[in-house]
């Protein structure tokens, strides 16, 4: 009950995942990313352990296609899964099991791969990939959210969307963006709204974590 996209910014090297679903807390189960390693979405009847395993295997230097095959072999129920992977070089891989739910599809584009299940149309992943590639000069978080919007415009999921998430890693060993919306009537619009609030604050959050001696908080009364 999900559609998602994993992508890499070829300008900055940042990696990320954007995901949305009618199922609550989708980002907590499906979105995975690790700085200097890659990004992964694992969905359909989700086993979150496969996301962590995929990143561990990518960190060993294995190609996404090889990792995808290893996930299938390691899983006693691979026919129920969908996996999307991208590594730090932008190489991608995708897998949809034979028992992925209802209308399911996947599509690959430059530095990205998208997939979904219980879709209104198999045009949803290609629309996401096309939108992601449209403005490579934009920040990765904007492109990832816009890709989800394109998926919704192309038909989206059969059921009403209720949750969404955005996960982005850069050079730090923790996500520079980790935003989630749950049980919301318009989760993509809310995700975009929260992203706009956080975007001008992000550099300061990184600075206070990495170089706190250079960060001077604004403590003026309001």
Q: How far apart are CA 106 and CA 16, in angstroms?
A: 17
Contact 74, 53 (CB under 8 A): yes
**pLDDT value for 212:** 86
Contacts of 2 (CB under 8 A, 6+ apart): 19, 20, 21, 23, 26, 30, 43, 44, 46, 82, 116, 117, 118, 157
Look at residue 38 in the predicted model and tell me its pLDDT: 98
What's the pLDDT score for residue 218? 60
Cα distances (Å, whole numbers) of residue 77 to 45, 82, 102, 118, 122: 9, 11, 17, 19, 23
d(CA 40, CA 55): 7
Q: What is the rounded distance in angstroms from the CA atom of residue 75 to the CA atom of residue 45? A: 12
Tens-level pLDDT at each residue, the chain (222 residues): 799 999 999 999 999 999 999 999 999 999 999 999 999 999 999 999 999 999 999 999 999 999 999 999 999 999 999 999 999 999 999 999 999 999 999 999 999 999 999 999 999 999 999 999 999 999 999 999 999 999 999 999 999 999 999 999 999 999 999 999 999 999 999 999 999 999 999 998 988 888 888 765 665 554
Query: Token pair of 76, please?
Result: 């006693």
Domain limits, the chain:
2-214
Q: Does domain 2-214 sit in CATH 3.60.20.10? A: yes
Measured distance CA(46)–CA(82) in Å, rounded: 8
- Cβ contact 108:65 at 8 Å: no
| DSSP letter assigned to residue 211 | -
- Tell me if 179 sits within 8 A of 190, measured CB to CB: no
């Amino acid at each position: 009950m999900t559609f998602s996209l994993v992508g890499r910014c070829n300008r900055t090297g940042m990696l990320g995942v954007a995901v949305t679903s009618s199922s609550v807390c989708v980002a907590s189960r499906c979105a995975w990313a690790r700085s200097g390693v890659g990004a992964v979405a694992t969905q359909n009847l989700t086993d979150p352990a496969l996301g962590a395993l995929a990143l561990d295997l990518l960190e060993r230097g294995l190609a996404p296609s090889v990792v995808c095959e290893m996930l299938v072999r390691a899983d006693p129920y691979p026919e129920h899964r969908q996996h999307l992977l991208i590594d730090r070089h932008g190489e991608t891989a995708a897998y949809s099991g034979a028992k992925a739910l209802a209308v399911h599809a996947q599509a690959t584009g430059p530095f990205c791969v998208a997939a979904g299940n219980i879709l209104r149309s198999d045009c949803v992943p290609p629309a996401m990939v096309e939108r992601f590639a449209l403005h490579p000069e934009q920040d990765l978080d904007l492109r990832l959210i816009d890709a989800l919007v394109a998926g919704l415009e192309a038909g989206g999921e059969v059921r009403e969307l209720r949750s969404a998430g955005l996960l982005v890693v850069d050079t730090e060993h923790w996500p520079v963006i980790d935003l989630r919306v749950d049980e919301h009537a318009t989760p993509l619009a809310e995700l975009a709204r929260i992203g706009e609030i956080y975007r001008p604050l992000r550099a300061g959050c990184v600075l206070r974590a990495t170089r706190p001696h250079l960060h001077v908080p604004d403590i003026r009364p309001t």
